[in-house]
Structure 1
């Protein structure tokens, strides 16, 4: 057993890989190794996207500008949750959580349908959010392609994962770092959103300031896909901002917790 920031974790093996488990909630963490990567959409990725746009992908130019210019980022090792919090795990920290259609689902990812609920759960968690640099580094898992699987367009029937009750399914969707379903659920990051990376740091620390929170992923929220470019939400470099809808005042965010590593010396 180890203790990180007051959180006790038990060493475990999950889908045949080493892991750390928070026993009270069942949240499983993977150790993401330290390393460096090129963050953002590279010229080669954008050329690939342009070729895909001819027949298969709807793409808006501002998508690329949100994630440019590409920069080298060094990422220390850290722990990242195997998958986003489930509805059941969210209730361990926020007993009153029961939002949306997934409120009673023990295996579906928690869907936080208001900024207030998102803030309440974040305040109750003993974990932190990953920075968006950590999120993209974990999603790429050493690759430089649109997703960790390559440059082909994701397929809703085979690549999308929005339920986490079946370990066989989760394992099939793990990348080399052992994290699953990256891009499926809209996930909140620690950073405040700014369009582009012109002034972004070259370490993995989050940018904190006034404004909306960065989001990554969200393809499952668009299911069933309607041919409106939903595949792009699964690209490792894709980013957006969590903002209330101007009409109904709702969002649909999930949380994938993180923790520092190695543990601080006692």
Structure 2
């Protein structure tokens, strides 16, 4: 079945139809997504369960259609702004396994659409309706599962502003809690904490300061605490607070549900109405959970282990604090069919660039590999030979290509040698890779980054780049013997080996959009954009260093310059000698010499 997206029709059509049989509207958005059924409807519009027709597996996704019910020009403009804001926040946050991924955002038929990853499962509200009040262990598990997500959101300087049971889904595949609906989310700027803004959020779960238009990070913690009280009691939050006594009375509504004093203290501090008395950060909540329950209050549940990524312990070693992350590693055969998928794990450090922009640098282990391509490899050239063994020391490399948000933030740092455009790219988008930048601009960008952060950042050598890109593989691509447009962004009309033709998107795609990495944890190694290295161009690998360092340009340039001048002088002398025998006795002007 195909659901018509025309708000005045919504007719259900048989499978295979390209146009609605009732109103004639196109059923596929941008020739790619088609709706199957309505999932829900709210003040901003409708959500549809949909299918991505561009991918062979036809994976499910969610179409959010902007269709506000509000009236008045100012109200409609604000609603449109919030809808657009959700896309911006999701793009800014990037990828997190417990936040729906933004797949696309566009306008079609004069309506705004947002395409998101589909999360199959029940909301906590549905769980409450079906199973009854939550137990203490369930609440502890909830906190330990959601707080790392909230830490990630706040680290990117975003306040969700609408945490409630309806916006938390327990994913059916792994029972993980997923935080959804960032339509009310707010990005925090250096001055915005003290500026009164629009009041947004569900009233029953809204912190007092948020209700006054001044949301803080602690406002999300308040909403999370109220959510826990509601799940424990099944009583509306408005009935759990006594305004005459200015206190919460949730314990009176437990109906025999046992809650320990330890959890009670945590919940009471989460929902403290006086902001300064409330938890100020996720790290503070974690510390109390650790103090009251230890690392594993419920040894049978792996979800109860406190992740290292949110521990705010002093770093006295002088070494960067690392964060582990997991990813999928895909292998395909020569025809582009997936033959293996496994989970990988790597570590990265996160650099704070300011204004909510971060840079994730993956730790690449040292090792020895064979650099270059064998003579029989299709598409290879003499410049990639001879193959030679290279030993690489450990180093850091960006998890994704540099985004436009990252470029803009660093380019705004004080100039060192060259001016940098804040917006050089042809295709616009905060999470799209930066392009249209020269090697010299990139060197300046790295220099500004190094000076601001206090660590030496540079372009990788060609050997380091190839070592990191191969990640232990010897095939033409790190995914195998060919490439498909389900794995990378390139012109799908051009095939390699026996690989199939695919999509031609004709523009860059958001970094990390393809949900797999190489074995080192690096994304977008193939396709999307060309990437600069530090080395100058060489015609072959003859004489290349074996230690992975930059093939020093100075000696090469000097040698080439000397050879160039020598050949030019030889040619000049030959021209003069020929001229002496061919020209009349009256000499020509010596200005050429």
Gaps of 5+ in 2: 1-313, 328-344, 413-420, 451-456, 491-507, 558-593
Indicate yes or no: 2:179 matched with 1:179: no
SS at match of 1:41: coil
Q: Which has the higher contact order (CA 8 A, sep 6+)?
A: 1
Which residue of 184, 201, 212 maps to 2:545? 201
Q: Which residue among 443, 468, 484 is the counterpart of 1:155?
A: 484
**Could you tell me whether the CA contact under 8 Å between 1:9 and 1:22 is conserved in 2?**
no
More helix by proportion, 1 or 2? 2
Per the alignment, residue 323 of structure 2 pairs with 12
Deviation at 1:164, TM superposition (A): 3.6
Task: Give the conservation status (yes or no) of the 8 Å contact 2:361–2:397.
Answer: yes
* 1:171-200 deviations in Å (ceiling 9; x for gaps): 42x011111111322111111111100010
Q: 1:2 to 1:135 in 2, by over 3 A?
A: farther
1:113 & 1:119 partners in 2: Cα distance?
10
What is the rounded CA distance, in whole Å, between the counterparts of 1:124 and 1:106 in structure 2?
20
1:76 aligns with 2:396: no
Call closer, same or farther: CA 1:33–1:118 in 2, change over 3 Å: closer
Gaps of 5+ in 1: 50-58, 213-266
Residues 20-74 of structure 1, C-alpha deviation per residue, up to 9 Å, x if partnerless? 1112241111111111111000235x2xx1xxxxxxxxx4xxx511111000000
Alignment partners' CA distance in 2, 1:135 and 1:88: 23
Give the CA RMSD over aligned residues: 2.8
Task: Kindly name which structure, 1 or 2, has the bigger radius of gyration based on alpha carbons.
Answer: 2
2:352 counterpart of 1:28: no
Using structure 2 for the length normalisation, give the TM-score: 0.30
Cα distance in structure 2, aligned partners of 1:124 and 1:73:
30
Query: What is the correspondence of 1:1-266 to structure 2 with a 5 Å cutoff?
Result: 9-15=320-326, 17=345, 18-24=347-353, 25-44=357-376, 46=377, 49=378, 59=379, 63-95=380-412, 96-102=421-427, 104-115=428-439, 117-126=441-450, 127-152=457-482, 154-160=483-489, 162-164=508-510, 169-172=513-516, 174-184=517-527, 185-209=529-553
**Distance of 2:402 and 2:537 partners within structure 1:** 22
Once residues 19 and 38 of structure 1 are traced to their aligned partners in structure 2, the CA distance between those partners, rounded to angstroms, is 25
Residues 170 and 192 of structure 1, relative CA distance in 2, 3 Å threshold: same
CA distance in 1, matches of 2:524, 2:394: 20
Would you say the 8 A contact 1:112–1:118 is kept in 2?
no
Per-residue deviation, 1:157 = 4.1
Structure 1 residues 15, 91: closer, same or farther in 2, change over 3 A?
farther
